[in-house]
Amino acid sequence: MKQCGKLVRRATIFVRDAEASAAFYCSVFGFTVYSDQKITLREGSPVTLGAHDRPRPARFITVKGAHDFTGMIGLISLNDEQPKDTLADGRLGVGNVVLVMEAEDIDTVASAIEIAGGTLVMALHDAENTAGASGEKIPSRRFFAKDLDGYVLEVFEPQ
């Protein structure tokens, strides 16, 4: 079977405040701002909430880690309304996102998340993560947290 895709360059998420979210990811993970744009989400665009949504102004900031063109996170905030929390009871389900982040110093990252306004939701513990070159599981330390908008972060450090 022919391989069609090679890698994920960016995941884009809707946030309340793109600037605040960019500051969170930059301060916690050392990301940098790759681009900062004012855009208009056009009617019928796949990123609007429905096929007949009116055009809406938005802010679109992309942050990136150390790699030149992979591992980026796009942060979109709508200027005219706030996204709604679809699962108020805190459980994850269809349509939710978990951002998996690798850390070099997981203890420092855990502290930085709380300082930057995020929340730890599962304490640091020993685990296995699929992160080996061939897809094998490797020993790691990890924790789960939420960013400023409630997106779940799985942060791990290979051992």
3-state SS record for 61-128: EEEECCCCCCCEEEEEEECCCCCCCCCCCCCCCCCCCEEEEECCCHHHHHHHHHHCCCEEEEEEEEEE
Strand partners, 98: 152
- pTM equals 0.78
What is the distance, to the nearest Å, from the Cα of residue 51 to the centroid of all Cα atoms in its chain?
25
73 and 99 in contact (C-beta within 8 Å)? yes
Q: What pLDDT does residue 51 have?
A: 44
The pLDDT value recorded for residue 152 is 87
The amino acid present at 1, given as its one-letter code, is M
**Which has the closest alpha carbon to 155: 85, 36, 65, 20?**
65
pLDDT of residue 24: 97
Question: Tens of pLDDT along the chain (159 residues)?
Answer: 555 566 677 888 888 899 999 999 999 999 999 999 988 876 655 555 444 556 778 888 999 998 877 889 989 887 766 555 555 555 556 567 889 888 889 999 999 999 999 999 888 999 887 666 677 788 889 898 999 998 889 888 988
Q: What pLDDT score does 3 carry? A: 54
Query: Cα 94 to chain center, whole Å?
Result: 16
Phi (first) and psi of residue 34, to 5 degrees: -90, -40
70 residue type, one letter: T
